Amino acid sequence: MALKVYVLAALVVVAIADNIPYTPPRPSYNAPAPVGPAQYNFDWSVNDGNSGNDFGHYEGRNGYDTEGSYYVQLPDGRLQRVTYTVNGDSGYVAQVDYEGEAQYPAYQPSPSYRPTPGYA
């Protein structure tokens, strides 16, 4: 009998909760509106001699004009550098340059296992 009362009470609560309209809470913080267009500069790079990783990125923005470059060490030994500009709504204009000469050394596989020693 008590189980029936609990089930009936749960159904009533679900039916009432389904009819309550949802109203999102009002924001409690009003952020100040940005003043003027964006202005920033950033620069980072990675050069790890052990793994051969060499890459980085620079970008600077003043208003609606952006300029920057990024580079990466390619597996063939060349350094690929991309220099770009964006002036307002003119779009992304990039220039790609390569430094160095591509090298393809002969492949010399080495055994990835050691045979088990033989016992006499």
**Rg, the chain, Cα only:** 32
Q: What does 62-95 look like in DSSP terms, one character per residue?
A: ETTEEEEEEEEE-TTS-EEEEEEEEETTS-EEEE
Q: For position 34, what pLDDT does the model report?
A: 66
Asked whether the CA dihedral 105, 109, 110, 113 is positive or negative, the reply is: positive
Confidence (pTM): 0.58
pLDDT one digit per residue (tens) for the chain, 120 residues: 788 888 888 877 777 766 777 788 887 777 676 677 789 999 999 998 888 788 999 999 998 899 999 999 998 889 999 999 998 788 899 999 999 999 888 888 877 777 777 887
User: Which one, of 69, 73, 92, lies nearest residue 82 by Cα?
Assistant: 69
Q: What's the token pair of residue 49? A: 């001699």
Residue 26 is predicted with a pLDDT of: 81
